[in-house]
Amino acid sequence: MAKKNKREKKIQDADGLYSFLKHYVDFLIKHSYKEIKYIGLEKIPTDGAVIIAPNHTNALMDALVVLSRQKAPTVFVARADLFKIPILKKIFTFLKIMPIMRIRDGVSEVKKNDEIIQKSIDVLLDHVPFCILPEGTHRAMHSLLPLGKGIFRIALQTQELLPEGTPLYIVPFGIEYGNFFRFRSTVLAQVGDPINVKEFMASRGDTPVPVVMNEMKEILAQRMKEMIVYIPDDEHYDATYELCAVMNNQYAKRYAKEHPSEKRRSLTTRYACNKAIVQDITELREQNPEGAEKLLSLASKFHDKREKAQISLSSAVVKKPLYSNLLKNIIFLVTLPYTIPAGIVTLPLTGITELLLTKFKDKAFHNSVRFVATLLLWPLLMIIYAVLAFCLLPWEWALAAWLLSIPAPIISQDAYRLLRIMISDVKFTYNGKMRRMVKELRKTYNQYVK
């Protein structure tokens, strides 16, 4: 009797090892940030195929934030040049990431996308969430690059193949990082209103497909911008962001009064206030160009001097940073007997990570490198430390030492952050010129922005 042909495994098929390891990845993602908050997940439809469309600012971390929103898997696409290294190709395929060519890879290479598009359609037909970063490349800025057409091409082709009455949705997904480059920062991920592709196409009647795609692109871009702190002006980007940080506390006081259920220092409050500040600056530029130019010029000078002095924005936004962070500084000093050994046991991980970082000129990759290094190397180090501990110490002491070393990467990163901010606070406190600039900046802002 002839054997049945075994079906070729699809990238979206269930995988026991993937499901098992996803719990570990999700756990590590949640502990790679001090706080990670998802808002609006209930907006993601469950009655059809779904394409998640996030902004792209932080390399692999963007995809991991999307992945960790739910227990079920999500299929992704990533730039094809990352797949040229055989070991990375195997890892990405295991992680359910497919390669996609970009125009910069050459016209002949882009033609290879036809196969990937077909696989993407197949993923959606199986009702597995599919994520594509429509900007096509990352940029570590609170902004949004022009969207490519690939996501809409896939959406339209898939909608035609779906059963009658089954819709396809494009879901805007905004990712807002507290800091693009610092490990253990914060993440606010927000889901916007989905675009029902079936209804959208029906409402456009006989409108040519290219026109429909452009209309859909404009709508998606607008909804993505609504989910992030969008700074539209690249020329005055740094100055605008400095003003967001310097004025956020003032806005937060007012916001907390208007929204009693919100905490002043919550991620959502900071996000709402930064959005309001950007909007006020945009309106000022339209209504009072001269005043706006003076304000932004002052903010730009402050940015340059602060960077040169290596002072953190977090030090410059409070009146007396040393007193404001007094409790954190005390905690740092009290916990030194633990944080110093934690730093020592993580030295191999830190050393290898820092060596790898020298290979990446684009700082947007740095957190991704730190994450992958921790993901792969820390379990190996824990095995080595377990063997050494149980060989050299009584089992009770060995077990205690090993258990205490488990959170060492997180503790050492937090300790380093506290030390860095403490040094920055001291610099700012004894830099009278910088403190006067902050006062002048706030005064000028309040003079022009009512």
| CB-CB contact of 229 with 244 (8 Å) | yes
Find the length of the chain.
450
For 223, the token pair is 């909804």
Which residue intervals of the chain bear CATH 3.40.1130.10? 16-226
How does pLDDT run across 214-260, given as a tens digit for each residue?
Answer: 999 999 999 999 999 999 989 999 999 999 999 999 999 999 999 99
Give the global pTM.
0.92
Pick the CATH number of 16-226 from 3.40.1130.10, 1.10.1840.10, 2.70.70.10, 3.40.50.300: 3.40.1130.10
How does pLDDT run across 8-64, given as a tens digit for each residue?
Answer: 788 888 888 888 999 999 999 999 999 999 999 999 999 999 999 999 999 899 999
The pLDDT of residue 81 = 78
The pLDDT of residue 1 = 45
The pLDDT of residue 276 = 97
Which is nearest to 346 in space by CA: 185, 338, 329? Answer: 338
Which is nearest to 130 in space by CA: 83, 168, 80, 174? Answer: 168
The pLDDT of residue 331 = 84
Question: Could you count the other beta carbons within 10 Å of the beta carbon of residue 283?
Answer: 12
DSSP conformational letter for 141: S
Q: At what angle are helices 432-448 and 289-309 packed, to 10 degrees? A: 160
Task: Work out the angle at residue 333's Cα, subtended by the Cα atoms of residues 331 and 334, and round it to the nearest 5 degrees.
Answer: 65
